[in-house]
Amino acid sequence: MNGITGSTALWYASRATGVVSLLLLTAVVVLGVLVNRQGRVPGLPRFVVTGLHRSISLLAVAFLAVHVGTAIADPYVSIRLAAAVVPFVSAYEPFWLGLGAVSLDLIAALIVTSLVRAHISRRVWRGVHWLAYAAWPVALAHSIGSSTDMQRGLLLWVAVGCCIAVGAAVAWRVTQAARDVPRAERAAATFAQAAPRQRFRSQRSGRQHPAQQSSPLPPASPAGPSTDRLEEADLR
């Protein structure tokens, strides 16, 4: 193999950033799949998972920009700017580059809708965000199809690893969804989780107040004064 020279630098940069982008996108997808209101990743608070998901996706966008920019700038094969965004119009490898363009467009839609999330309806944002499940496999196919190095050796194992990571995350999410707690029971479920940890003694089981035994007051009743007093008065 030749070393990196002035004429091959862009080519190497494009390939390297492409691989890094794939790894970052895989991480984004895995974290996105794991962001679930109920399940939690052991040892990671939920806000860390969402925070990582957002930060890594912005990092992936930066690498993608370099990946696409260097591919266009590289004089070795001529790829026009249009071919990077419009699918299947490239003269070079139209199908595999076209998949890259599809993936790029989908990711652009995800990023734009997330940036304006406060101004659009939740349903629209969510609907567009489901496109992530299409963008990632398309990006993977683009990586394997347009890069001959990814079809064998170490990089093939990277591709396989990415597939396993996403597959495992999706499987975990699906099993979590099967154990979905009904909305009205969620807070109660958290109480149930909090109690057996025994981090804190509950008021009842803990040591009693010195005066509690001698308290002349009746035991606590769950309800306070009647809320319907006026209506009761009216009945008489």
- Residue 80's Cβ-side half-sphere holds a number of Cα atoms within 13 Å equal to 9
Of residues 5 and 203, the one with the C-beta less far from another protein:
203
Residue 97 DSSP class: H
121: contact with another protein by CB under 8 A: yes
State which of residues 75, 122, 154, 236 lies at the interface with another protein (CB under 8 A): 122
Structure tokens at 4: 């990196």
State which of residues 130, 178, 231, 236 lies at the interface with another protein (CB under 8 A): 231
Per DSSP, the residues of 73-139 read: H-SSS---HHHHHSTT--SSSHHHHHHHHHHHHHHHHHHHHHHTGGGS-HHHHHHHHTTHHHHHHHH
What x-and-dash track marks residues 47-86 binding another protein by CB under 8 A? x---------------------------------------
130: contact with another protein by CB under 8 A: no
43: contact with another protein by CB under 8 A: no
Q: Which of residues 132-191 bind another protein (CB under 8 A)?
A: 182-188, 190-191
Angle, alpha carbons 168-61-69 (nearest 5°): 125
Indicate left, alpha or beta for 209 from its phi (over 0: left) and psi (-120 to 50: alpha): beta
Q: Which of residues 198-217 bind another protein (CB under 8 A)?
A: 199-203, 206-212, 215, 217
Calculate the CA 6 to chain-centre distance: 38
Of residues 130 and 191, the one with the C-beta less far from another protein:
191
Note the residues at the interface with another protein (CB under 8 A): 37-38, 46-47, 118-119, 121-122, 182-188, 190-191, 194-195, 199-203, 206-212, 215, 217-225, 227-231, 233-234
